[in-house]
């Protein structure tokens, strides 16, 4: 497995003799074929600006400072994975002091092997519906325009048009294509200030890749989008509140709960899901009672000190999140975790022990693994209580999850049988 690197013009090269190294937190190791899979369809290679590649030579770590072929400066290379794949190693690099923070993406280790690019990842769900090829259509702008012309006053559809055509958001696109999981943003506000927030950056780590909605939809707007999608998409259709372009939908519970109640009088098929931090327990309860089928709760850790350091919650604690999960289960709602995974954090012994204890309680039906989009150095410098033990490895973490009775492991929301 040979080291991949790039020059500052974006040209990629494999190193003539350095072996590829992967990174887990602040630890490095030589990558082997057992760690890797061929680059999957829908993945892309990216430069890591300002990050010096690190490789291995005879078991020793070697920092690459210049191109052996041309002598110029070099940068590390990573991959961005499509949905359905969970990364197991971060790219091997060292960031010099005062280097800029990396943009908010989920960087994965890569290597050159047998004449092609390989990545450190595992297939953990069926990626078919989230294959980028399913979202490329020359007719998409026309489809979006026709739908907007049919409902010129619906602000949600106007927002989703931007998310579809500008941000290439798949759940927004599905609303216009009337299939699978479609997103409905409802909340311009949030009760957390996540370090890796992709719609607003109160933490100030780097620019957010998309903008948050700046309005509060009314019930009629929400009902129109929900009912049309669930009717057209059939039993496999999903409506999800809590998108990347909004805050937390539980804070908009009066609109969400009334909308669900009205829609269920019109359409009985399909799944209604909410993605949330679940800190506003009263809002979560009201929405569940209105007829929510599934809830996906975002968590980075089952330990309070790590959870609070990342989410920086305003007005709630991890105990409130647990109470929301208990409430949802008691009301018959299917509960998933949106588990924000990072090699070198998620697979630490302290973290794994806490996750195992929490998940063995039986409160969670499914763990949806999410490759955390953030600069690893920025994050790890801000998390307390990680201990000194070496990471066990993401493969070990996945094996732990698979051994918990009744727990489903995947990457995204599945339809709930009604």
End-of-domain residue from the set 123, 147, 165: 123
**What Å distances lie between residue 133 and 82, 127, 137, 283, CA to CA?**
11, 11, 9, 37
pTM of the model: 0.95
In this structure, are 73 and 157 located in the same domain? no
CB 1 within 8 A of CB 33: yes
pLDDT at 203 over 50: no
Regarding whether 136 and 89 lie in a shared domain, the answer is no
- Distance between CA 17 and CA 223 in Å, rounded? 60
The chain-wide mean pLDDT, for the chain, equals: 94
Give the position of tokens 């009088």: 265
Looking at the fold, whether 157 and 100 belong to one and the same domain comes out as no
Question: At 409, is the secondary structure helix, strand, or coil?
Answer: strand
Alpha-carbon distances, residue 215 vs 64, 246, 251, 389 (angstroms): 49, 10, 13, 46
Tokens of 301: 């850790």
- Percent pLDDT > 90 in the chain is 89
Residues 83 and 147 in one domain: no
What is the predicted pLDDT for the residue at 284? 98
Whether residues 157 and 274 fall in one domain: yes
DSSP 321: H
The pLDDT > 70 percentage for the chain reads 97
Distance in angstroms (rounded) separating the CA atoms of residues 76 and 65: 10
CB atoms within 10 A of CB 69: 11
Average pLDDT over residues 41-64: 95
**Total structural domains within the chain:** 2
Contact at 8 Å (CB) between 418 and 269? yes
Q: Which residues pair with 24 in a beta bridge?
A: 27
62 beta partners: 55
Residue 238 belongs to a domain with what CATH number?
3.20.20.70
Q: CA-based Rg of the chain, rounded to a whole angstrom?
A: 22
Domain endpoint, select from 56, 88, 123: 123
Residue with tokens 């719609």: 199
Nearest-angstrom CA–CA distance, 174 and 112: 35
Q: How far apart are the C-alpha atoms of 113 and 155, rounded to whole Å?
A: 49
Confidence at residue 97, expressed as pLDDT on a 0 to 100 scale: 85
Residue 345 CA to residue 21 CA, distance in Å, equals 18
Question: What proportions of the chain, in percent to the nearest 5, are helix, strand and coil?
Answer: 30, 25, 45
Lowest mean pLDDT among 42-46, 203-207, 255-259: 203-207
Residue 58 resides in a domain: yes
381: Cβ–Cβ under 8 A, 6 or more apart, which residues? none
Q: What is the largest CA-CA distance in the chain?
A: 68
Paired tokens of 199: 């719609």
Sign of CA dihedral 240, 242, 246, 248: positive
Give the DSSP H/E element, type plus range, for residue 258: helix 253-266
346 and 231 in one domain?
A: yes
In this prediction, residue 198 has a pLDDT band, given cuts at 50, 70 and 90, of confident
């Amino acid at each position: 497995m040979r080291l991949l690197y790039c020059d500052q013009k974006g040209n990629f090269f494999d190193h003539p003799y350095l072996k590829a190294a992967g990174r887990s937190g602040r630890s490095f190791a030589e990558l082997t074929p057992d760690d890797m899979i061929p680059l999957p369809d829908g993945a892309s290679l990216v430069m890591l600006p300002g990050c010096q590649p690190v490789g291995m030579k005879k078991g020793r770590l070697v920092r690459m400072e210049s191109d052996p072929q041309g002598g110029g400066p070099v940068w590390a290379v990573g991959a961005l994975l499509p949905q359905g794949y969970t990364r197991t190693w971060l790219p091997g690099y060292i960031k010099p002091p005062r280097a800029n923070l990396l943009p908010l993406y989920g960087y994965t280790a890569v290597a050159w092997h047998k004449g092609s690019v390989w990545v450190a990842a595992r297939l953990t769900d069926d990626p078919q519906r989230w294959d980028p090829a399913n979202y490329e259509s020359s007719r998409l702008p026309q489809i979006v325009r026709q739908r907007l012309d049919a409902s010129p006053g619906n602000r949600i559809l106007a927002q989703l048009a931007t998310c579809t055509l500008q941000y290439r958001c798949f759940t927004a696109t599905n609303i216009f294509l009337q299939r699978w999981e479609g997103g409905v943003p409802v909340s311009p506000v949030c009760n957390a200030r996540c370090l890796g927030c992709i719609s607003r950056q109160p933490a100030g780590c780097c620019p957010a890749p998309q903008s948050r909605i700046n309005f509060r939809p009314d019930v009629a707007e929400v009902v129109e989008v929900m009912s049309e999608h669930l009717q057209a998409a059939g039993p496999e259709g999903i409506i999800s509140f809590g998108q990347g372009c909004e805050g937390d939908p539980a804070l908009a519970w009066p609109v969400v709960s009334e909308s669900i109640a009205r829609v269920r009088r019109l359409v009985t098929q399909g799944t209604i899901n909410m993605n949330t931090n679940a800190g506003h327990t009263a809002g979560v309860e009201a929405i569940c009672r209105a007829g929510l089928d599934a809830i996906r709760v975002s968590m980075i850790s089952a330990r309070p000190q790590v959870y609070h350091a990342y989410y920086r919650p305003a007005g709630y604690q991890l105990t409130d999140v647990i109470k929301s999960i208990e409430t949802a289960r008691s009301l018959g709602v299917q509960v998933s975790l949106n588990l924000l995974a990072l090699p070198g954090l998620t697979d630490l012994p302290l973290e794994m022990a806490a996750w195992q204890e929490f998940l063995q309680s039986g409160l969670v039906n499914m763990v949806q693994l999410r490759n955390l989009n953030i600069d690893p150095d920025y994050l790890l410098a801000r998390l307390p209580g990680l201990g000194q033990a070496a990471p066990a490895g993401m493969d070990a973490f996945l094996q732990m999850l698979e051994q918990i009775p009744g727990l489903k492991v995947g990457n995204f929301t599945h339809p709930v049988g009604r």
